[in-house]
Structure 1
Amino acid sequence: MCRWMAYSGDPALAEALLFRPAHSLINQSLHARLGVETTNGDGFGIGWFGDRQVPGVYKSVLPAWNDPNLREISREIRTRLLFAHVRASTGAAVQRSNCHPFRHGRWLWMHNGAIADYPRLKRDVMLAVDPSLYPEIEGTTDSEALFYLALTFGLTEDPPGAVARAIGLVEDLGRRHGVPDPLQMTVATSEGESIWVFRYSSQGRTRSLFCSTDIVQLRRLYPGLDVLQRLGTDARFVVSEPIHHLEGAWTEVPESSYAIVRPGTHETHPLVPVRTPQETTA
């Protein structure tokens, strides 16, 4: 499995978001505490929104803790919305095209989890992807396949509905192929304004996911903590596991739910898989 982090708020240096927290994502790439694997060294990636219409992406197959270029560029990137992901492969090759986040137009996507027994389901999953989108798939991961399923089902217009339909398709294929509990996922996706995050597994035992709480409230609780003074009041983080261990700083995203993260706020809703006529006849 993997670890990931998303940030939304006032423009901040990527270095401060990635390296400075006590249990930063770079620290988690070596010493994850809540993940299945403690080490996530099968590549990494960051995606950020700046002045261009299309987000920037930097990926490498090196471990995040051992890429000097990441430290260099993170000192130069100031962004209001950052995605970062450290990878522990569930079987797909360690190559740049398999590193997250994935990009389509203005949209970024990253995932922690797996489609169980993916080689058995892969052909049917790929056949469900819109033919106009299929040529854009660069890698071999189930994570990228989920992204293009969601795009096929309308991610750019209705992210929650599209992800619910993608889940429904994978679970339908699992039933047909005799794969119990076929899906495990925490996902983040964004077009540069809002972040949608999803927590779901067919087994009902999904990997951990947390949203940060209100910065103003945390400043009252911890008036002497410098890092909270440097963050703007609109700052929000979504993380696989907390990057600071401060009581009251994190709210767990509930099982089978999604959250919409916008500057200074987030709201949570139930996530229910949707089976469509296309899925039942594919």
Structure 2
Amino acid sequence: MCRFLAWTGAARHLDEFVFKGDQCLVAQSRHALIGKTPLNGDGFGLAWYTDRGTPCIYKDLNPAWSDSNLKQIAYHTKAQLFLAHVRASTSMAVSRNNSHPFGVGPWCFMHNGQVGGHLRIRQALDAMIPADLYERRNGATDSEAIFLIAAGGGLDREPVAAMARAVGRVETLARENGETPFMRFAACWTDGKRVFAARYASDRFAPSLYYKVQQGGVIICSEPLAEAETWIEVPPGSAIETDGKALKCHEFAPMSLQPA
């Protein structure tokens, strides 16, 4: 699986969360404490927002701990909203195009989870991506496909509901043609103004997701960055939304949105 984090609030240097601390994101890439896969060395990515309106995305296929460019960028870059991800591949190749986050217009998305039987349903999954967005299909992961399906299904208007519909459609496909577990989904997405995150699974093993409201902003992550601090676990079947100040909770029930 994968590990990720997102920050929104007062401007912070990226390395404060990516490199500093006993259980920072790079530490999690070497030895995650929660989840199925302790090693997350199949690529990494960063995305941050400036006044340009679209995210600056830097990613590569190297393990996060070995990339000197990542250290320099994280040390010198300060942003009010940023995402960071370290990958553990479940089926697709280790490549830059398969590393997270993924971006379309102002939107950016990263994911931890899997679609059951992805290789078996890959062609049908690609067919769900709207034609006008298919040129943005640079990689081969199920994660990128879910994002593009959501982007073409009303993400601008309904950021939580559109993502839930996309996850529900993909889960339905996996139930009909794939294999168990049909869907495991913990993800974070943003338009550069608000950050959204959701946790869901077709079984009882939803990937982990936590958040913490602290002075100056909100941090969302796959697992706590420090054991001694108080983190709130996002319940399965739930989504959160924050602008770095207020935080809202939403139901996230993908299958309830599908036709009977």
Distance across 2 between alignment mates of 1:178 and 1:124: 11
Residue of structure 2 equivalent to 1:89? 89
Gaps in structure 1 of 5+ consecutive residues:
216-232
Distance across 1 between alignment mates of 2:252 and 2:73: 37
Q: 1:256 to 1:276 in 2, by over 3 A?
A: closer
AA at the equivalent of 1:185: F
Distance across 1 between alignment mates of 2:201 and 2:154: 21
Structure number, greater radius of gyration = 1
Residue of structure 2 equivalent to 1:267? 248
Report if aligned partners of 1:187, 1:199 keep a CA contact under 8 Å in 2: yes
Distance across 2 between alignment mates of 1:27 and 1:46: 16
AA at the equivalent of 1:182: F
SS at 2:114 equivalent? strand
AA at the equivalent of 1:263: G
Give runs of aligned pairs for residues 1-282 of structure 1, distance below 5 A.
1-177=1-177, 179-213=179-213, 215=214, 233-247=215-229, 249-273=230-254, 274-276=256-258
Deviations 1:213-268 (A, max 9, x none): 3x2xxxxxxxxxxxxxxxxx331100100001124x21000011100022223222
Report if aligned partners of 2:30, 2:38 keep a CA contact under 8 Å in 1: yes
Deviations 1:172-210 (A, max 9, x none): 212321534411110100011110101001113201110
Q: 1:148 to 1:270 in 2, by over 3 A?
A: same
Q: Displacement, 1:275?
A: 4.1
Distance across 2 between alignment mates of 1:261 and 1:135: 30
Deviations 1:110-130 (A, max 9, x none): 000011110122122111111
Q: Displacement, 1:22?
A: 2.4
Gaps in structure 2 of 5+ consecutive residues:
none
Q: Displacement, 1:17?
A: 2.2
TM-score by length of 2: 0.95
Distance across 2 between alignment mates of 1:141 and 1:66: 23
Report if aligned partners of 1:234, 1:265 keep a CA contact under 8 Å in 2: no
Report if aligned partners of 1:3, 1:35 keep a CA contact under 8 Å in 2: no
Report if aligned partners of 2:116, 2:178 keep a CA contact under 8 Å in 1: no
Report if aligned partners of 2:174, 2:182 keep a CA contact under 8 Å in 1: yes
Report if aligned partners of 2:115, 2:171 keep a CA contact under 8 Å in 1: no
TM-score by length of 1: 0.88
RMSD: 1.4
AA at the equivalent of 1:253: V
Report if aligned partners of 2:44, 2:100 keep a CA contact under 8 Å in 1: yes
AA at the equivalent of 2:246: T
Distance across 2 between alignment mates of 1:162 and 1:199: 15
Percent sequence identity over aligned pairs: 36
Q: Displacement, 1:49?
A: 0.6
Distance across 1 between alignment mates of 2:224 and 2:66: 22
**Bigger mean CA deviation after superposition, 1-10 or 153-162:** 153-162
Residue of structure 2 equivalent to 1:226? none
Residue of structure 2 equivalent to 1:225? none
Aligned length: 259
SS at 1:246 equivalent? coil
